[in-house]
Amino acid sequence: MDRSTRKLDHIRNALATAENGTNCFDDVSFVPNSVPNTGYEETKLATEFATFRLPSPFVINAMTGGAEATTPINQKLAIIARERQLAMAVGSQMAALRDPSLASSYQIVRKENPHGIIWANVGAEATVEQAKAAIDMLEADGLQIHLNVMQELLMPEGDRDFRGYLERIQNISEAVNVPVIVKEVGFGMTKETMRKLLEAGIRSIDVGGRGGTNFAKVENMRSSHPLTMFEDWGFTTVESLLEADSHIHAQSSVMATGGVRHGLDAFKAISLGAKAVGVAGALLRLIHTKSLAECLEEVDAWHHQIRVAMTALGIVQLADAINVPLLVTGKTAERARLRGIV
Ligand code: FNR
């Protein structure tokens, strides 16, 4: 299977499997406060994740690059990132590391947003040299290393050997001069995984949970032997955030991606400990169907929704959201209880 075809399949299938219904964030609600003693204008959206001071907690998370048809997608995402000061990650650069003629489909992101915060992206199979080359390709400010074991196993042409991941991740993080963010792609993370990453020297983690783009479904749609029984694999984004205990938060910055639909979901993730919130599928759908102006309006609406929640709860700085009382119900609460968390 040609890599360029795979990139386009992923976009098509991610759009086709869009889950607009309920997800893990619906199991989380806030305890209301009728006397919050704050004003909307006081609320601030700035946050700190890893070494980055981000004007907005929203991050345009890794999606694409590596085929000519992906250039306009990355271009539109990069303009949104520039216009609304969002950090942005590109999709896996492994394709361009093997075929440099594909680099321009990623470099458009730096071209459109010369001063923005941009993160490179490689798989855990990358060598130190490949990781450095991915950063150089974009003059990137950070590097994401994605973990996607279940996706690879369901991908007909995927990897089957996952030995040496932690060692390579550690070697990369010691050799590069930008923060390394290890992320899942939608199967979530347990506290045991996060602790192993901490032991490997990682200080920034994106829990990348189930609830939004479902890569088991995306790959099954491409497979002549789909393993549909794996489509519920993993931990949701909320379950993964509940897994991150005080030790993990003390040692690292945690961000959350997976199923974020709007500002209230983002604020729930932040109240559960996330320092930043990644969005992939929802933005892909937006840029696919809306004009640039409409996409910017939607991002403004997400920011407004966060500020409405902050005002109603009496929160001025996002960093204070961690103290807001939350109710966790339903399947999420039941599963967290089995893990000894709530
Ligand atoms: C992705 N994602 C992804 N992640 C990664 O680290 N490298 C990659 O190359 C890709 N490719 C990719 C393609 C497409 C079309 C989508 C929609 C997503 C995963 C992405 O960054 C994110 O972790 C998940 O999509 C979950 O977030 P959402 O989509 O539920 O917001």
State the Rg of the chain over Cα: 19
Residue 261 counted as an annotated binding residue = yes
17 vs 61: which has the higher pLDDT: 61
Q: Phi and psi at residue 196, in whole multiples of 5°? A: -65, -40
> Is 152 annotated as contributing to ligand binding?
yes
Distance 62 CA to ligand 1 centre (A): 5
For residues 274 and 306, is the Cβ–Cβ distance under 8 A?
no
Q: In order of start, what are the domains of the chain with their CATH numbers?
A: 3-25+55-290 (3.20.20.70)
User: Is 317 within 8 Å of 44 (Cβ atoms)?
Assistant: yes
Note the pLDDT of residue 274. Answer: 98
Question: What is the distance in A from the centroid of ligand 1 to the CA of 144?
Answer: 12
pLDDT of 77 over the 70 cut? yes
Mean pLDDT of 271-287: 98
Query: How many residues in total does the chain contain?
Result: 342
When pLDDT is cut at 50, 70 and 90, the band that residue 299 belongs to is: very high
Residue 96 has pLDDT above 70, yes or no: yes
CA atoms within 13 A on the CB side of 297: 5
* 190-202 mean pLDDT: 98
pTM over 0.90: yes
Distance CA 184, CA 38 (A): 36
Atom nearest to 144 CA in ligand 1: 6
Residues with Cβ within 8 Å of residue 223, at least 6 apart in sequence: 154, 155, 156
- pLDDT for residue 64: 97
Q: How confident is the model at residue 21 (pLDDT cuts 50, 70, 90)?
A: confident
Q: Which two tokens stand for residue 127?
A: 């060598």
Interval between CA 293 and ligand 1 midpoint (Å): 23
- 134 or 341: which leads in pLDDT: 134
The CA-based angle 307-308-309, given to 5 degrees, is 90
- Residue 167: the pLDDT is 98
Q: What are phi and psi of 31, to 5 degrees?
A: -85, 120
Whether pLDDT at 20 is above 70? no
Atom 17 (ligand 1) nearest CA: 281
Candidates 189, 269, 263, 188; CA nearest to 25 is 269
281 is in an annotated binding site: yes
Whether the pLDDT of residue 63 is over 80: the answer is yes
Is pLDDT of 293 > 90? yes
pLDDT at 272 over 70: yes
Closest CA to 185 of 163, 160, 152, 142: 152
**pLDDT for residue 142:** 98
Residue-averaged pLDDT of the chain: 97
Q: Minimal CA–CA distance to 58: which of 16, 116, 140?
A: 116
Question: Please, which pLDDT band fits residue 1 given cuts at 50, 70 and 90?
Answer: low
| Interface pTM, i.e. ipTM | 0.99
- CB of 240 sitting under 6 A from ligand 1: no
For residue 320, the CA-to-ligand 1 centroid distance in Å is 29
pLDDT given at position 3? 75
pLDDT reported for residue 2:
73
Strand ranges for the chain from DSSP E: 28-30, 47-49, 52-54, 58-60, 87-89, 118-123, 142-147, 180-184, 204-206, 253-257, 276-279, 326-328
Report the C-alpha gap between 184 and 204 in whole angstroms. Answer: 12
* Atom 14 of ligand 1, nearest CA residue: 63
Confidence of residue 18 (pLDDT cuts 50, 70, 90): confident
207 pLDDT more than 90: yes
Q: Are 200 and 220 in contact (CB under 8 A)?
A: no
Ligand 1 mean position to 15 CA, how many Å? 12
**Percent of the chain at pLDDT exceeding 90:** 95
Which residue's CA is minimally distant from atom 15 of ligand 1? 11
Asked whether residue 213 is marked as a ligand-binding residue, the answer is: yes
Q: Is 275 annotated as a binding residue?
A: no
Per-residue pLDDT, averaged over 85-114, amounts to: 97
pLDDT over 90 at 4, yes or no: no
- Beta strands 47-49 and 204-206, pairing class: unpaired
